[in-house]
Amino acid sequence: MDPSAFFSGWEPLLRIVVVGLAAYVALVVMLRLSGKRTLSKLNAFDFVVTVALGSTLATVIISRETSLAEGLTALALLIVAQFAVTWTTARWGRFNRAVKSEPTVLLRCGEPIRRALRRERVTEDELLSAVRDKGGRSLDEAEAIFLEADGSLSAILSR
């Protein structure tokens, strides 16, 4: 086995530290400038952007072939694209519906909607957990349970 696989000198490590810190600081500044919505509670679209940001940051830090300027440009591109999409979704309903999923009703008046449960791959145990999170004890106590666009379950209990 090649000994350089374990240690190839101090210069590559120094590059990782310097470029990594610079890229990290730049990413934090860009995220602060772009606003809270850039990394808010994640729906599928936001999740993809977050993963892409992490992957890009890792590439900038580790890859010798990617310069800091190239990496910061890629990070800025992702953040600007995310800002543009969220700005547009807040202003045009059709675009919002194209990008984001709508909440799904999984239970109504204490009765699970079986077809919706199968389509969304949610179990009755998960519905019951959502009811318990709200202080209920059984599905009969729920007026409705929704699978939200971000994948979380929310329950409205009967009072």
Do residues 112 and 94 both lie within one domain?
no
Tens-of-pLDDT digits for all 159 residues of the chain? 777 778 878 888 898 999 989 998 998 888 778 766 565 566 667 778 888 999 999 999 999 899 999 999 999 999 998 888 888 988 998 888 887 778 899 999 999 999 999 999 999 999 999 999 999 999 999 999 999 877 889 999 987
Structure tokens at 98: 């194209």
Which residue range is the domain that position 20 belongs to? 9-99
Last residue of a domain, one of 83, 99, 115: 99
- Domain at 116, CATH number: 3.30.240.20
Kindly state the tokens that stand for 85. Answer: 């999409």
59, 77, 99: which is the final residue of a domain? 99
Number of domains in the chain: 2
Dmax (CA) of the chain: 69
Q: Which of 149, 152, 154, 153 is nearest to 45 (CA)?
A: 149
**Pair (16, 49) in one structural domain:** yes
CB 83 within 8 A of CB 34: yes
Last residue of some domain: 58, 84, 99?
99
Question: What radius of gyration, in Å, describes the C-alpha atoms of the chain?
Answer: 22
pLDDT at 138: 94
What's the pLDDT score for residue 9? 82
Instruction: Please report which residue ranges of the chain form alpha helices under DSSP H.
Output: 10-34, 44-62, 68-91, 93-99, 114-120, 124-133
Q: Is 108 helix (H, G, I), strand (E, B) or coil?
A: strand
Q: What is the pLDDT of residue 98?
A: 80
Give whole-number Cα distances, 77 to 48, 53, 66, 74, 134, in Å. 14, 10, 15, 5, 40
